[in-house]
Structure 1
Amino acid sequence: MGRRIMEWAARSDYMGGIPRKMVIMAVGGLAKAVVSLLNNTTVHNADTLLRLVRSRPPGVPLVTVSNHMSTMDDPFLWGFKGFPITDAKLSRWALAAEDICFKSSMLSYFFRLGKCIPITRGGGIYQEHMNEALERLSEGEWLHTFPEGKVSQEDAPIRRLKWGTASLIARAPVTPIVLPIVHSGFEQVMPENFYRGKRPPFPLWNKNIKIIVGEPMELDLPKMRQMAMSLSRNISHPTLGWPSTCPGGLDEAAQRCLYNAISEKIQNVMETLRTFARSFSKSKDQNLC
């Protein structure tokens, strides 16, 4: 087993859970202030997200996926009115870039208390911390990911998704509920190129934020595995030494086909939500005229 960065600080029983509660309450309070008070936020279908966070079936994990518009998407994405962002027990786990959020001991400690799992970009889908994310899913937890892999502030179609999220969905012992979310406005709250190519020192205000929550996706994984095995027989790729995965014991070629199929399906749904968000915004603007 490889090294896991400060895993002890991420445990719920670390110091009685008090440091985690303090961090999540502080960060959640900031997110509430920015999103609910300082900016104009519209949320579509919030009830679906709230229901799945608060009362999904016991032992069933939740995976939320969204586009990535700014470095502050998480936690701001959960700062809208009515969301229990300051509740440490209900709070999401999140995959976070190791080179940004874990580049010092102090940052590592802070983000670990905030239920973040470090991911080495380019480190592959079988890196040690992906196994940690899989463990959280096996415990029925909620995990949020940005499957595009990096921030993009352009008004552009959803980019081709990385396979990490798809691999977690496919490998989880209990198939997660997958909920897509698309948002806009955080690129104005925290622009990448605010002054001389740098971000602002604090979040901006009086911007319009829109959060579109989709519906849980229907992923027939047994059927998708069978399809992947069938397709992979005719495809040859250089191997990376991936282990066979359960259930199904898929070889590397079949895994590639499966993860690509899951990723494409999620990408298509997210792009549909993005298109809806744009038409939703235009109709609201027209009604105001």
Structure 2
Amino acid sequence: MARTMEWAARAKHLGGIPRKLVIAAVGAFAKTASSLVNTTSVHNADTLLRLLRSRPHRVPLITVSNHMSTLDDPLMWGFKGSPIFDAKLARWVLAAEDICFKNSLYSYIFRLGKCIPITRGGGIYQNHMNEALERLSDGEWLHTFPEGKVYQEDVPIRRLKWGTASLVARAPITPIVLPIVHHGFDKVMPLKYMFGRPPPLPLCNKKIDIVIGDPIEFDLPAMREKAIHRSRSESFSTIGWPTTSDGLDEAAQRFLYAEISEQIRAAMERLRCSGKSFLNS
């Protein structure tokens, strides 16, 4: 826990200068890899840019995407017009603790880069999920990879983990949820390039396509009522989740998070299919 360094993630840490330096360096790396040595096409970029700059006050934004390489974030934000160098507008992102926070130096750098450590398999009530909720309460932009791991096969979107769904349901103000599907990062940073390992740097002369969808609409009051009704008619073992602030017990939460996750997965899959049709046309 000592390596989670929450103090380094605060905007006022050393006057915000270390964060600005890290965001600028990461932005330059992403811009170079995405727009200079590779070719990136972004479809419907205006929707994302509009939501970043002019969504309603204090309304948070959650972007969700498939996960095809260890460098999807930050490379997917290096496209033309993206505020990649703006430390205030830059996304927060859920990052695997065992990869990004393995030592103090990594922890400090990733914290400055607005990363929130998540223990894979640690459940939706692990400590730093509360930190993610706090960022949403501040009206911030949070990016998640709800599949939970890197998949480099071009196959339908898999069943999603429930962490993102729980953030949608538990946030004080319901976030805008924007699906994104990308193609090509598996070629830029293949997991098994040489001796079964990724290359030391992103590869060049690859084509990246990023397809941005439209916000997903959730009727959360109706979904909560449906979850409560279903939870009363079915039974299963529980693991001790706390009751939510709006009175949902663990059984109702399970139904609600499953339904939200399925709506997100379905939206991502539709985007994946429409994107492939668009790219092949």
What is the one-letter code of the residue matched to 1:112? R
1:280 counterpart letter in structure 2: F
User: Are the counterparts in 1 of residues 177 and 216 from structure 2 also a CA contact under 8 Å?
Assistant: yes
Identity of aligned residues (%): 70
Equivalent position SS for 1:204? coil
Report what 1:167 is aligned to: 166
Match of 2:190 in 1: 191
Aligned to 1:250: 248
How far is the alpha carbon of 1:235 from its aligned partner?
A: 1.7
Structure 1 ranges of 4+ moved more than 2 A: none
Quote the Cα distance in structure 1 between the aligned partners of 2:216 and 2:3.
31
Shift of 1:74: 0.2
Q: Which runs of 5+ in 2 are unaligned?
A: none
> Would the aligned equivalents of 1:25 and 1:86 in 2 still touch at CA under 8 Å?
yes
Determine the C-alpha separation between the residues in 2 that align with 1:39 and 1:70.
Answer: 15
Task: In structure 2, give the amino acid aligned to 1:124.
Answer: G
- What CA RMSD, in Å, does the superposition of the two structures yield over aligned residues? 1.0
> How far apart, in 2, do the equivalents of 1:24 and 1:264 lie?
33
Q: Give the C-alpha shift of residue 120 in structure 1.
A: 0.5
Where 1:211 maps in the other structure, the secondary structure is strand
Q: State the partner residue of 2:260.
A: 262
Once structures 1 and 2 are overlaid, which stretch shifts more, 209-218 or 230-239? 230-239
Q: Deviations over 1:40-88 (max 9, x none)?
A: 1111000000000111111000000000000000000100001010100
Is the contact between residue 4 and residue 129 of structure 1 (CA under 8 Å) also seen in structure 2? no
The one-letter amino acid paired with 1:102 is: F
**TM-score, length of structure 2 as denominator length:** 0.99
State which drifts further: 226-235 or 15-24.
Answer: 226-235
Query: Hey, what's the Cα distance between the residues in 1 that align with 2:204 and 2:45?
Result: 22
Instruction: Give the SS at the match of 1:63.
Output: strand
Secondary structure of the corresponding residue to residue 168 of structure 1 = helix
Match of 2:205 in 1: 206
Residue in 2 aligned with 1:42?
A: 41
Alpha-carbon distance in structure 1 between the residues aligned to 2:74 and 2:182: 13
**1: CA distance between counterparts of 2:198 and 2:13?**
34
Q: State the alpha-carbon separation in 2 of the partners of residues 109 and 237 from structure 1.
A: 42
Tell me, in whole angstroms, the C-alpha distance in 1 between the residues paired with 2:239 and 2:30: 41
Cα offset for 1:3? 7.2
Deviation, structure 1 residue 226:
0.5
Determine whether 1:98 maps to 2:97: yes
Aligned residues: 281
Q: TM-score, normalised by structure 1?
A: 0.96
Provide Cα deviations, 1:6-35, integer angstroms capped at 9, x if missing partner.
Answer: 000000000000000000000011100111
Q: Which moved more, 1:227-236 or 1:163-172?
A: 227-236
Which amino acid is the alignment partner of residue 244 of structure 1? Answer: T
